[in-house]
Structure 1
Amino acid sequence: MITRTSLSTGWTLRIASDAVASGVPEHVLAALPVPATVPGTVHTDLLAAGLVPDPYVDRNEITLDWIGRTDWCYERSIDLSAAPEEELVIAFDGLDTVATVTVDGEVIARSENMHRRVEVSVPVGLRREDAVLAVRFDSAWRFGEAERDRVGALPNAYPAPFNYLRKAASNFGWDWGPTLVTAGIWRDARLVRGTAPAIRRVSPTVLVEGPVGIASLAVELDRPAPVPLRLRAELAGTHVAVDLEPGARTATVRLEVQDPELWWPHGLGAQRLYDVVVRLDESGHDGGPDGGTPVDEWTGRVGFRSLRLDTTPDADGTPFVVVVNGATVPIRGANWIPDDCFLPRVTEERLRVRIGQAVDANTNLLRVWGGGVYESEAFYRVCDELGVLVWQDFLFACAAYPEDERLAAEIEAEARDNVERLMPHPSLVLWNGNNENIWGWFDWHWQEALDGREWGLGYYLKLLPEVVADVDPSRPYWAGSPYSGSMELHPNDDDHGLTHVWDVWNQVDYTVYAHHRPRFVSEFGWQAPPAWSTITRSVRDAPLTPTSPGMLHHQKAEDGNGKLERGLVPHFAVPESMTDWHFAMQLNQARAIAFGIEHFRSLRPRNFGTIVWQLNDCWPVTSWAAIDGDGRKKPLWYALRSSQATRLLTIQPTDGPGGAAAAGTDGPRGLALVGVNDGGEAWREYVTVRRLRFDGTVLAELTTRIVTDRFGSARVELPDALARPDEPGAELLVAETSTGVRTERFFREDRDLAYSPARFTTTVERVSDDTVLVTVTATTLLRDLVLLPDRLSPSAEVDDALVTLLPGQAHTFTVRGLPPGQDSDLVERPVLRTANDLVVPSRDR
């Protein structure tokens, strides 16, 4: 029988004895070795030992650069005694990154790839009871720089050498992340022993053909069968056995299930998962289903669903449409980066919270971005269970990559390993070749710098698609994001494939989203600072300002604050106080992304997908995220929930690009009410559209009907009585159905609106130890009413935000996590805010 013993305990960490310890503080040298955690990282081990400060606080990141430039060694004792006929294998699911594995000083394995599993047989001569297992990690900085010298410098969006080795690129710093170059045994490790072969992997290809679900299980053993063996597989009450002759190492087991329950993305059906068991038996030639001696067992889960990517050319160009179980699925997605710089801290519990937040924001796809990692089994397991589609990038981002033989072999092995590993998960629906590298070749002056040298295109157009086709032909592959389907087309062509829209954040106002008409937009974003309590935990500047040292250190984007302020000016004056600046930037981020999503969705059927940059953060930082580095929801999260609703109403211009989107102009302003239906059933509902003064007086009204099939849209042209205001600065449109689907549209930007100071009445009621109800009744128009309860207690959270009320209307907010004694503060500034506050001064209510 095969046994697997965890190697998670008993480790210590020290500096490698022959390493150059330049820059290592004396107190650290004196304290080493220290206990080490597996899975873990050097940074977190030193942090746990109290030897270094929190790298997420203030500017500590800078003072800890020496960690990534030092060589480290993990050690533990291990019992490797074994009978002569026993096989001993040490298996590491992840070594970060330049690793040498030794037993009693003898090298048994080397690895230069964070993203591959390492399995090594222990030689007979090293099998003893009191052996010492060690893993040395050489500095990834030094390795990458040496490789750059060896192959020659290649274009890179950042100065670090991440494109010369197989390590998470974002470890070297990004425009939202710190430079914290990690090392360590970052995924599980174990000792595998037995006298018979072990099941090394099971890779299921799962298909649906008519009423039949087919699971074809490719099984690989860790070594050839020494004697006849039998594989037995069980799925949904179906049992199949396959005999292996001596010398065989692989086999395929095919199981068929009649009328299986299908796995669906959330919102379109259930997420039915089936347990799969594969057993390996010795002998078993008795023909019975239970004969033979058990040797090893693999268990997993699969889901039956059909999948294809529709890129069939049409009259407008090349669509990009995900089709699941025959249904065209409109994508409402978010880009996913590593949820922590120190990946072992991302537990399954944490993933359930974060991915649950995505689901609650009506997100149905997460794109695992190519500068991070191939995500964990726990990540995919949670996505399987919650019905979240996953698009997994291969790990290439924002740089030219060498195509020399050494790196190419490493990349092929990495790709095969991860495609095999992730095959069981029905949530995985796309493999993507790279992030922005094809765009870089076209537009970032790479061609002059490369002067004809290879830069990675061979990976994206040949190696990677061949691996996917060979290992997992059931899943589609796309060469890059952005990419138009051919090197003959510009990768950011709105008419073809995938588009990234970054001119808006970098150069112009967010209303310019309306000038873009992409078939599928896989990146677009707008920045804002994190929650107030996240800032005050991680930045201790006194005074705290947008440009104080700690705040600027936690703003990694080039001219980030400048872009924030230039992006605010068309809508609001830039506030002088930190409190108002913080709220204004968060509000503007929410408005910008909601504007973009609503516009892109209104293009249906031309557009079938948006993937906002980004869902999450890896540390406390001013960034494009909807959920900050401490896991708190920014106002953007609430805007995502509204703009990604399954049934969306939006009012859009009809007089060409920009049109009425360019609020404040006085030209022709055709407007249309657009209903977008991402649900699996038709939408038939009456809608009332009113033009109102800010005091609530109705100036014009229309009742019409939204009629759209599933996954469709409907457009109703609005008459001039609604579309043309008498006083653009004092009127708005409100459209609402009887079931509460609602949208508003103003005719001017906030700075040009005749807001009254926010006036309202409130009631506050604590209904349990953990829950407070806050009801706000408007006396004047209140636009984008927000409660920020984390300013009172870091654990407090509100259920709703960005609520617009007309005079006489009321809304009840539910606040959870606020300790008793602060309830009345919930209805005072700076906790209760409205857009009005940023235009006209508040006065007593």
Structure 2
Amino acid sequence: MGDHCRLEDDLTPTEFSRIELNTGWEFKQVGAIGVPEPTDKFASVAQFPTNIHLDLELHKRIPDPFMGLNEYKVQWVGEQQWLYKTDFAIQTKPGHLEKLVLQFDGLDTFADVKVNGRLVLTANNMHRTYRVEINDQVQVGTNVLEILFDSAVIRGKQLIEESGFKPGVTPQSTDPSRLVVRKAQYHYGWNWGPELMTCGPWRPIRLDRYSARISDLWASIGISVKDKSAAVTVTADIESAFEGDTVIFTLIDPHGQLIDTSDPVSIVHNSASTTFNIHKAQFWWPTGYGKQPLYTVGSKLIRKGLVLHERERRIGLRHAKICQTPLIEASGTSFFLQVNDIPIFSSGSNWCPADHFVPRVTNGKYRKLLEMFVQANQNMIRQVKVWGGGVYEEDIFYDICDELGIMVWNDFMLACGTFPADKAFLNTITAEADDNLRRLRHHPSIVAWSGNNEDYLFATLFKTQYDINDKYPENWLKTNFPSRYIYEKLLPELCEKLIPTTSYHPGSPWGGKSFNDPTVGDTHMWEVWHASSKPYQDYPKLGSRFISEFGISSLPHIKTIESYLVGSSLSERHPHSRTVDSHNKETLHERKLATYLVENFRYNYGLEEYIYISQLLQAEAMTCAMRAWRREWKGPGREYCGGSLIWQFNPTWQVTSKALVDHFLRPKMAYFTVKRDIAPVSLGLERKTIKHRRFKYTRAFIDNETRILGWATNVTLKSVTYTLNIKAFELSTGKEIFDKTETKELGSNMTTELFDIELPATMGGPEEAVIISSCLTNNDGVVIARCTNWPQPYKYLDMPKADITVRIDGDKIYVRTNDVPVKGLALYVEDADSVGFEDNLIDLVPGDEQVVVANGMNGRSVTYRYYGIDF
């Protein structure tokens, strides 16, 4: 350092400058394999950042892969090499002690980078940020940057052959070679997405010039909720620091006002830090529990009075951790998030990429999807782009989660298989994790990291060598489940170093004697739909301490289906056509969906009816699960279930899937039922039949007693008192046979059991269907929560035709039944994208007019459908 300091005395340091290399890009095919009409001419890109499918579609070399059966026509694209290039200008050669660095935020996936024909970088990991110094490669004037992308699927197969690695892989993937390639796993095909093997510069490329820079800025935060205070220790890591360099730190409040500025801080071992103490601190809270104020920490690198580089981060003052503590009157331990000393029941969904082609997802689409997430009362999102089969999400995704108060459970990008753990693989995983932890650790929304998605489950499925009592990591590398080393040593050590105050969980699911132990850790609840395909009515019996995946498929909106049927024959407009089937990637989906439908409903086979009935199925199943599992949030020491996350919130394209919102942001009906079931205050009902034998051995003389149990969950932090009304109706006539009203107090942040009553008798005898309706109203007569309970399965009910009145006043739709109870009333408008329903798919009982707000009605008419309307 001493020699450098003397040389520096005669030089003026260079301030940090950055150029976005986002113009002038062209691409072409190289060394075409098996393609009828290859071309060696460069063509312009569709956008930047980009990927190959977007560029080829622009020039009509391929059809839209999302349309019809086109996915299968474009498979050749993923087996080719593609060259991208652009020019950039340099006015002067880099000076002494000055750096010229190319930064690649994302190269998908195997890429050789050349500057003026000289190789400067060989990349092999889509999830990494690469930086390479090019001082010796540039010239004054025009310089040429070229990136040659190789086929990831072919390279993966070659790596499998060369290494001898024997992957264990699930039917989710079309090719086991994905396990040795650091590429988004969903690109190889998943049970909700197409197989489209992308490549290209999928994230920004930048050219930096500087003498020194702030390479990282982060904050360690300690808070005292009781004292409303916080201590924020801000650290700046410096690249190419010199003796005498200093850093000045600033802290800005959520309103943009400067709170404090530090004195110049000397740099020691390439790092500088200071601590700000905040009184009357404004804490960051998950949505529904408070506001989301965001402070800004800033830093300036100073040399000889000149500001060389500035950097800042937005932060939130909060403390979050996963709590796993002994329970009262239950085995195992709890599993829930605690934020700022408050236990939080996590209600939400798993997030998938907002488009298979990530570069074309706009900031507006991210915001709209995440706003829809919060509007549905969801507070935690788990990702596959934050789930292990996708990508570490864009910065804007986390920024919006910070602003909206969405808690993020972030997986490392390892999913559904047994991965290698040789030296090269461990090195790339280390670099990948280090890059992304440093990039994302300032976000208050990220409350937990998980080592993988379902890898432990599949290690069990493939009967790998796993000894839970073996505590020696070097032994794990010698087994046929070597990636245990990644989840239980490499990643936790990195997290302890870089994010010591954020909880790390080895995998999802993880915990207990088995990797899906319902009493310890989290579980993926696939006994319904997958595995043994149990009835969805079994959801209440299949709960656990935290359910991080579960779901049932349904078809998307009719307009979404029609969007991929453009140009198809009329015969393809059928729920079981070849094209509609190809837009359902679920293994054995025909059997699964048909089984659940035939077990529960009567229905016809028209496309619109099939869409409705599949969405009704999904909605009823999600309601059954969410109400029952939330019921187990019983208060301190009795957090028997700490959260439930639906698989999934959104898909990557137009597909039949378990998503609550389809590719064009059109909510399915389950979106609305889930919104009601996880509202701050919600109601639940259970119908329980008790058999009484008249004597010990009889099979014939049995008296059935049917009871209705009711509960309310209040996740607000205040106890509330409401009026509870319970009514019962004969389904066939709509006659009211029971009416009871009483006052109930609901404890804060817990479930309160409300009643246990015998089902009222009817004039029609024991076979008469009885519908139970309950609601909570406040002192002003406003209904806070509703719930109905119907005999199941619905297919055994003789559904009477209903006399329904619909009245529209501005953006409000008033609906009521004039005679009999109605199941699953769905409201529709012709232009689905111009009206935003705040509620839908409602049950009606006589005497209870409901109001549905539909923003943007502007005089439009409404049509409706309910269960039984077509019988």
TM-score > 0.5 by shorter chain: yes
- 2:849 match: 810
- 1:837 match: 869
- 2:231 match: 214
Q: Does 1:786 align with 2:826?
A: yes
Aligned in 2, Cα 1:701/1:278: closer, same or farther, shift over 3 Å? same
Q: Does 1:592 align with 2:592?
A: no
SS at match of 2:77: helix
TM-superposition CA deviations, 1:60-117 (whole Å, max 9, x none):
1111111111111110111134342331111111111111111011111121111111
- 1:310 match: 323
- 2:528 match: 504
> How far is 1:337 from its partner?
0.9
- 2:16 match: 2
The counterpart of 1:343, out of the listed 349, 358, 364, is 358
- 2:198 match: 182
TM-superposition CA deviations, 1:760-815 (whole Å, max 9, x none):
233456x4xxx68565554432221102335x555454332111122354344444
- 2:101 match: 89
Given that 1:789 and 1:815 are in contact with CA atoms closer than 8 Å, whether structure 2 keeps it comes out as no
1:291-440 matches, cutoff 5 A: 292-314=305-327, 315-368=330-383, 369-440=387-458
Once residues 761 and 111 of structure 2 are traced to their aligned partners in structure 1, the CA distance between those partners, rounded to angstroms, is: 66
- 1:648 match: 682
> How far is 1:608 from its partner?
1.3
1:631-646 matches, cutoff 5 A: 631-646=665-680
For normalisation by structure 1, the TM-score amounts to 0.91
- 2:10 match: none
Q: Does 1:13 align with 2:48?
A: no
Once residues 614 and 478 of structure 2 are traced to their aligned partners in structure 1, the CA distance between those partners, rounded to angstroms, is: 43
Aligned in 2, Cα 1:169/1:563: closer, same or farther, shift over 3 Å? same
Once residues 282 and 78 of structure 1 are traced to their aligned partners in structure 2, the CA distance between those partners, rounded to angstroms, is: 29
- 1:761 match: 805
* Identical columns (%): 29
SS at match of 1:835: coil
Once residues 52 and 772 of structure 2 are traced to their aligned partners in structure 1, the CA distance between those partners, rounded to angstroms, is: 57
SS at match of 2:610: helix
> How far is 1:30 from its partner?
6.6
Aligned in 2, Cα 1:562/1:818: closer, same or farther, shift over 3 Å? farther
TM-superposition CA deviations, 1:169-213 (whole Å, max 9, x none):
00110000001111111112111112x201122122222145431
The one-letter code sitting in structure 2 at the alignment partner of 1:58 is: G
> How far is 1:497 from its partner?
1.0
Aligned length: 801
Aligned in 2, Cα 1:31/1:541: closer, same or farther, shift over 3 Å? farther
TM-superposition CA deviations, 1:144-185 (whole Å, max 9, x none):
111211232210012412110111100110000001111111
- 1:719 match: 757
Aligned in 2, Cα 1:729/1:282: closer, same or farther, shift over 3 Å? farther
- 1:691 match: 728
TM-superposition CA deviations, 1:383-411 (whole Å, max 9, x none):
00000000100111111000000000100
> How far is 1:654 from its partner?
6.1
Given that 1:789 and 1:798 are in contact with CA atoms closer than 8 Å, whether structure 2 keeps it comes out as no
Aligned in 2, Cα 1:691/1:279: closer, same or farther, shift over 3 Å? same
Once residues 144 and 83 of structure 1 are traced to their aligned partners in structure 2, the CA distance between those partners, rounded to angstroms, is: 39
- 1:112 match: 124
The one-letter code sitting in structure 2 at the alignment partner of 1:218 is: T
Given that 2:708 and 2:759 are in contact with CA atoms closer than 8 Å, whether structure 1 keeps it comes out as no
Q: Does 1:800 align with 2:839?
A: yes
TM-superposition CA deviations, 1:488-511 (whole Å, max 9, x none):
x11111111101111111212211
Given that 1:729 and 1:752 are in contact with CA atoms closer than 8 Å, whether structure 2 keeps it comes out as no
Given that 2:265 and 2:273 are in contact with CA atoms closer than 8 Å, whether structure 1 keeps it comes out as no
The one-letter code sitting in structure 1 at the alignment partner of 2:54 is: T
TM-superposition CA deviations, 1:500-531 (whole Å, max 9, x none):
11111121221111221311100000000111
Given that 2:247 and 2:299 are in contact with CA atoms closer than 8 Å, whether structure 1 keeps it comes out as yes
1:537-576 matches, cutoff 5 A: 537-539=563-565, 540-543=568-571, 544-576=573-605
The counterpart of 1:191, out of the listed 207, 212, 237, is 207
The one-letter code sitting in structure 2 at the alignment partner of 1:789 is: V
Deviates more, 1:628-637 or 1:691-700: 691-700
TM-superposition CA deviations, 1:306-344 (whole Å, max 9, x none):
112111233420211100010001100100011111111
Given that 2:379 and 2:405 are in contact with CA atoms closer than 8 Å, whether structure 1 keeps it comes out as yes
> How far is 1:480 from its partner?
0.8
Given that 2:118 and 2:137 are in contact with CA atoms closer than 8 Å, whether structure 1 keeps it comes out as no
Q: Does 1:730 align with 2:769?
A: yes
Once residues 316 and 214 of structure 1 are traced to their aligned partners in structure 2, the CA distance between those partners, rounded to angstroms, is: 38
Once residues 34 and 681 of structure 1 are traced to their aligned partners in structure 2, the CA distance between those partners, rounded to angstroms, is: 59
Alpha-carbon RMSD across the aligned residues, in angstroms, is: 2.4
The counterpart of 1:123, out of the listed 100, 112, 135, is 135
> How far is 1:273 from its partner?
0.5
SS at match of 1:837: coil
Q: Does 1:280 align with 2:301?
A: yes
The one-letter code sitting in structure 2 at the alignment partner of 1:735 is: S
Once residues 296 and 201 of structure 1 are traced to their aligned partners in structure 2, the CA distance between those partners, rounded to angstroms, is: 12
Once residues 453 and 262 of structure 1 are traced to their aligned partners in structure 2, the CA distance between those partners, rounded to angstroms, is: 46
The one-letter code sitting in structure 1 at the alignment partner of 2:101 is: V
Deviates more, 1:398-407 or 1:541-550: 541-550
Once residues 766 and 613 of structure 2 are traced to their aligned partners in structure 1, the CA distance between those partners, rounded to angstroms, is: 25
Once residues 670 and 346 of structure 2 are traced to their aligned partners in structure 1, the CA distance between those partners, rounded to angstroms, is: 18
Once residues 769 and 298 of structure 2 are traced to their aligned partners in structure 1, the CA distance between those partners, rounded to angstroms, is: 66
1:450-529 matches, cutoff 5 A: 452-484=479-511, 486=512, 489-506=513-530, 507-529=533-555
Once residues 503 and 444 of structure 2 are traced to their aligned partners in structure 1, the CA distance between those partners, rounded to angstroms, is: 13
> How far is 1:445 from its partner?
4.2
Aligned in 2, Cα 1:134/1:761: closer, same or farther, shift over 3 Å? same
TM-superposition CA deviations, 1:439-459 (whole Å, max 9, x none):
1112344559x9942341111
Once residues 756 and 49 of structure 1 are traced to their aligned partners in structure 2, the CA distance between those partners, rounded to angstroms, is: 56
Once residues 310 and 281 of structure 2 are traced to their aligned partners in structure 1, the CA distance between those partners, rounded to angstroms, is: 24
- 2:560 match: 534
* Runs of at least 5 residues in structure 2 that lack an aligned partner in the other structure: 1-14, 253-258, 467-476, 634-638, 692-701
> How far is 1:628 from its partner?
0.7
The one-letter code sitting in structure 2 at the alignment partner of 1:186 is: W
Given that 2:28 and 2:40 are in contact with CA atoms closer than 8 Å, whether structure 1 keeps it comes out as no
Aligned in 2, Cα 1:346/1:729: closer, same or farther, shift over 3 Å? farther
The one-letter code sitting in structure 2 at the alignment partner of 1:409 is: N
- 2:178 match: 162
Once residues 616 and 292 of structure 2 are traced to their aligned partners in structure 1, the CA distance between those partners, rounded to angstroms, is: 35
Once residues 654 and 732 of structure 1 are traced to their aligned partners in structure 2, the CA distance between those partners, rounded to angstroms, is: 14
SS at match of 2:391: coil
The one-letter code sitting in structure 2 at the alignment partner of 1:156 is: V
The one-letter code sitting in structure 1 at the alignment partner of 2:292 is: Q
Given that 1:774 and 1:815 are in contact with CA atoms closer than 8 Å, whether structure 2 keeps it comes out as no
Given that 1:690 and 1:701 are in contact with CA atoms closer than 8 Å, whether structure 2 keeps it comes out as yes
The one-letter code sitting in structure 1 at the alignment partner of 2:727 is: R
- 1:610 match: 644
Q: Does 1:38 align with 2:48?
A: yes
The one-letter code sitting in structure 2 at the alignment partner of 1:229 is: D
Deviates more, 1:544-553 or 1:425-434: 544-553
* Runs of at least 5 residues in structure 1 that lack an aligned partner in the other structure: 284-291, 658-664
1:814-825 matches, cutoff 5 A: 814-815=853-854, 823-824=860-861
Aligned in 2, Cα 1:106/1:677: closer, same or farther, shift over 3 Å? same
TM-superposition CA deviations, 1:583-625 (whole Å, max 9, x none):
1111111111111111111122311100000000100000000
SS at match of 2:223: strand
The one-letter code sitting in structure 1 at the alignment partner of 2:244 is: P
Once residues 759 and 168 of structure 2 are traced to their aligned partners in structure 1, the CA distance between those partners, rounded to angstroms, is: 56
Once residues 97 and 412 of structure 1 are traced to their aligned partners in structure 2, the CA distance between those partners, rounded to angstroms, is: 17
SS at match of 1:185: coil
Once residues 616 and 562 of structure 1 are traced to their aligned partners in structure 2, the CA distance between those partners, rounded to angstroms, is: 23
TM-superposition CA deviations, 1:617-671 (whole Å, max 9, x none):
10000000000112111111111111111111101256799xxxxxxx9844343
> How far is 1:25 from its partner?
4.3
